[in-house]
Amino acid sequence: MNYETIVGLEVHVELSTKTKIFCGCSTEFSKEPNSHCCPICLGMPGTIPLMNKSVVEYATKAGLALNCQIAEFSRFDRKKYFYPDLPKGYQISQYYIPLARNGYVEIDSNGKKKRIGIRIMHMEEDAGKLVHEEGSSYSLVDLDRAGVPLIEIVSEPDMRSGEEAWQYLNNLKTILQYIEVSDCKIEEGSMRCDINISLRPEGSNEFGTKVEVKNLGSFRAVKRAIEYEEKRQREILESGGSIVQETRRWDEDRGITIFMRGKVDNRYSPEPNLAPVIMRKDWKDEISARIPELPGAKKERFIKEYGLPEYDASIITASKVLSNFYEECVKHYHDPKVVSNWLMVELLSILNETGQGIEDLKFTPKQFCDMLAMIDKGTISGKIAKDVFREMFATGKSPEAIVEEKGLVQISDEAELESIAKRVMEANPKSVEDYKNGKKKALGFLVGQVMKETKGKANPQMINAIFSRLLDQ
């Protein structure tokens, strides 16, 4: 029997407000544990949570960017459980009346657009961090993260593969980064994801029993865990067994999921110490006006306005900073495709190598375009330009200064090139003979020799033309 995979994701994202959700303690990363704690986030009896206005605004902005309906009235509840990272014995969250519902994120499914529904998006507080000491019977608790604002984004069970889940997460992340509500770094824990996955016979409309998978440390892990669970559940079903509703954890090293715990029912009650959140139209409109052009729309525009292939447009718009840099460049240079080639190949690979971000670039879009113009004018060759580019990246110097300093100006003097060509021919009679006997590849060797002699500065078109003329005589 063929089975269909049904995937829903629960994503937690830390909001990048200055302070925690219910107190004025800083959310900044602290070097020393328990540096950002006060009676409220320590859960001292008698304290009252004080709602952070920016959290409401950030969360509403996220809800709108994810195409959700924003509730005019939403409220907080207490989710009760005992764990040492939760000082109050309950987490303040929105359960009964969440801030946002019924949104979607668009993904690409086999060349077609597909909407992944968002059932609910709500605000809540993060828990603290437990440090387990190897071989000790104690755990250490750091409450700096306790009370950091989160939004939880619960998708509909609309994804059908690990690939679709991976795309959904990527698009979600890009949107949240564009609207600047979170840095969404899954490796650093500011974005976390749990998977709900079940299988059902192809053609069926009923859902099978779902399994929850936790402890996913990267988008790649999410994809791998889904693919692993697909296989595990199919094998159980095919051998006549049934799936048990449970929570499993992903073991990255072994590439498998392991039983963690059975089904738990959390108990909720309304939070009486917080006033509801009232989101009236004027406030919502004000927040909505602050939402910039989102990645999906920007990608479409880049394809139309700059004639970029879809692939280029996706890569360039995957980062807001990169897409802004690109648009600045296009103002200074006539060929948008040349710019995207350079950014995608040279810039992204050097960023990858050095681990730097585009925001740290030392050169300006204008300087970058000046370099492209130098290639067009024949001042430098395309090959030399790559070296100039790397130098610009390292030092932030202008391309003119680099070319001047390092003597990289291309040799385009006909007479000079011809004399070098002749010298090379004299020194390599065998190659000349080969060429004349029909081995056209020998030309490449001769050109290479000229490049070697001129340290790559010979104008390649000119030297090719000169050789053709001399050899075909």
Return d(Cα 362, Cα 30) in angstroms, integer. 28
For other proteins, the closer CB: 130 or 345: 130
Stretch that binds other proteins, among 11-19, 227-235, 290-298, 426-434 (CB under 8 A): 11-19
Touching other proteins, residues 53-72 (CB under 8 A): 53-56
140, 244, 321, 465: which one binds other proteins (CB under 8 A): 140
Helix (H/G/I), strand (E/B), else coil: 380: coil
* Longest CA pairwise span in the chain (Å): 98
For the record, the structure tokens of 457 come out as 């500065």
Cα separation, 196 vs 254, in Å, equals 20
Task: Characterize the bridge pairing of strands 246-251 and 256-262.
Answer: antiparallel
Dist CA 274 CA 256 (whole Å): 42
Residue 330's identity, in one-letter code, is: V
Q: Name the DSSP letter for residue 66.
A: T
β-strand pairing of 191-201 with 149-155: unpaired
Look up residue 337 and give its DSSP letter.
H
- Shortest reach from residue 247's CB to other proteins, in Å: 8
Q: How many chain residues bind other proteins (CB under 8 A)?
A: 52
Site for Zn ion in 25-64 (CB under 5 A): 25, 38, 40-41
**2 in Cβ contact with 202 (< 8 Å):** yes
User: Which one of 3, 4, 6, 42 is in contact with other proteins (CB under 8 A)?
Assistant: 42
Q: How far apart are CA 71 and CA 278, in angstroms?
A: 8
> Given the DSSP bridges, would you call strands 69-70 and 100-109 parallel, antiparallel or unpaired?
antiparallel
When the beta carbons of 52 and 196 are compared against other proteins, the nearer one is: 52
d(CA 229, CA 248): 10
Between 42 and 451, CB nearer to other proteins: 42
The answer to whether 244 contacts other proteins (rule: CB under 8 A) is no
In whole angstroms, how close is the CB of 407 to other proteins at the nearest point? 53
Which part of the chain contacts Zn ion (CB under 5 A), choosing from 17-25, 96-104, 219-227, 388-396?
17-25
| 36 near other proteins (CB under 8 A) | yes
Nearer to other proteins, 280 or 383 (CB): 280
Name the binder of 52 from Zn ion, other proteins, none, CB < 5-8 A by kind: other proteins
The least distance separating other proteins from the CB of residue 143, rounded to whole angstroms, comes to 7
Binding to other proteins in span 71-100, by CB under 8 A: 75, 82-84, 89
> Which positions from 256 through 275 interact with other proteins, judged by CB under 8 A?
260-261, 270-275
Return d(Cα 343, Cα 244) in angstroms, integer. Answer: 49
Q: Which of 156, 97, 147, 153 is nearest to 279 (CA)?
A: 97
Smallest distance, Å, CB 139 to Zn ion?
Answer: 21
Contacts to other proteins by CB under 8 A = 17-19, 23-26, 32-39, 42, 50-56, 75, 82-84, 89, 130-132, 136-143, 247, 249, 260-261, 270-278
